Structure 1
Amino acid sequence: MTARLLRSGAPASRARAGLVLVHGRGGSGAEIAPLADALGLPDLAVITPEHPARSWWPTSFLAPHAQMAGPLETGLAAMGAAVAALEAEGVPRAAIAVAGFSQGACLAVEYAARFGAGLAGAFGLSGALVGTGDAALGSADPGLYGFAEKQFDYASDLTGLPVYLSVHAQDPHIPLARTRRSAEVFETLGAKVDTYVAPGAGHGLLAEDVTALRGLLNR
């Protein structure tokens, strides 16, 4: 299925920055767009990719690669199309950030790990990397909710790319172990990583997420 790209925010004539903002499971582009409005940045152009089924993949992002590969490629293509659309309007790549919540966060940071060179930043709001394949000797890991570890074989040079990852200490969908591993992977690629772990249990957008987004996009 081909995702729709919903455009909001500043018109091209006065946009100084761009944001690709991705919804989570069961959400939509229209439902995630108010997050961009909450940033209070009048010169921000926004594109919210929207999957027709309101879900980028039908299972947990921790599932084996064979289950994730097809849906993930569809999502990555939508991300690429959204970034290209902002560039076509005249927004410089260096002024475009990618962000998402939950399932959308996983998609946004996976896009950044593969294709994020030159972007303004990447934000995984309650999310983590999907990975490039299954670990050779992977076995069920309680820290990954019974799923096996993945490979994270990225050839990108992300030197200096700001990356923000957030998660609750006990998130029912995003294991803290995977978020921490994602931070390590991004650091290996040269990114400047900021990880925020909210105490306790939960799965939702945080005030710290909005602050981090506004801080980078307002530079």
Structure 2
Amino acid sequence: MTHVKKIIEAGLPLSQAKKALILLHGRGGSAEDILTLREHLPVNDFYIVAPQATNNSWYPLSFLAPIQQNEPWFSSALAYVKSIVEDIQAAGIPAEHIYIGGFSQGACLTLEFATRNAQRWGGVFALTGGLIGDKIYPEHYQGDFAGTKVFIANSQNDPHVPITRSEDSKKLMEKMGAQVNVKVYHDRPHTIVMDELQETGKILVG
């Protein structure tokens, strides 16, 4: 099975905005849930879009499973995000003014999409995330981030995303030209804390 495209929009109309933000929800979450982040972010002049994953999940297994085991959902999720980027670009907003971020499963998908399509993005943020796969496969990624700022948050003991994967993701992305800040929170549950949103705000204002 594959994802059926269903999006929720907020902020400025796409035809009027000069910047865009794509928000990707976590497993079991929803587009409505992740859109509430905008209340805590400096995005008054953004077009904001949140896609809804079919069955509330971008792919069925852990992000640490072999990629083939998460197909065809995984490839469908990447294509889904790409279609949204293309819609935004068709409206006249270039990649360097497109920001992509998400939480948990959505954070992993954010990093995976941005790195497989490395270029000068407006900014990238992953609230508890890392690149996807049983290990990191450098051959899956191409392009040059050209200085794109990336924020990755995690906890020392997150039950779903090992901090080592976040750190290894940083190393690969930096080799591809990104400026990556990994911030580790002590004893933080699998959630989003206000400090993460403040760090994300720094990405969104350039």
TM-score, structure 2 length as denominator? 0.92
Corresponding residue for 2:138? Answer: 152
Letter in 2 for 1:151: Y
Deviation at 1:64, TM superposition (A): 1.3
Whether the aligned pair in 1 keeps the contact of 2:151 and 2:199 (CA below 8 Å) is: yes
Deviation at 1:182, TM superposition (A): 0.5
Give CA-to-partner distance per residue, 1:52-85, whole Å, 9 cap, x none.
2100111100011221242211111111111122
SS in 2 for 1:67: helix
Moved over 3 A (4+): none
| Of 165, 183, 186, the match for 2:152 | 165
More displaced 10-residue stretch of structure 1: 82-91 or 27-36? 82-91
Identity among equivalent positions (%) equals: 33
Letter in 2 for 1:196: K
In 2, the alpha carbon distance for the partners of 1:102 and 1:25 equals 7
What is the root-mean-square deviation in Å for CA atoms of aligned residues?
1.6
Which runs of 5 or more residues in structure 1 are unaligned? 132-147
Deviation at 1:150, TM superposition (A): 3.7
In 1, the alpha carbon distance for the partners of 2:87 and 2:195 equals 28
Deviation at 1:130, TM superposition (A): 0.4
Alignment CA distance shift 1:67-1:217 (3 Å)? same
SS in 1 for 2:143: coil
Corresponding residue for 1:189? Answer: 176
| Of 85, 100, 103, the match for 1:101 | 103
The structure with the largest alpha-carbon Rg is 1
TM-score, structure 1 length as denominator? 0.87
Whether the aligned pair in 1 keeps the contact of 2:27 and 2:104 (CA below 8 Å) is: yes
In 2, the alpha carbon distance for the partners of 1:6 and 1:94 equals 22
Letter in 2 for 1:162: K
Which runs of 5 or more residues in structure 2 are unaligned? none
In 2, the alpha carbon distance for the partners of 1:49 and 1:8 equals 12
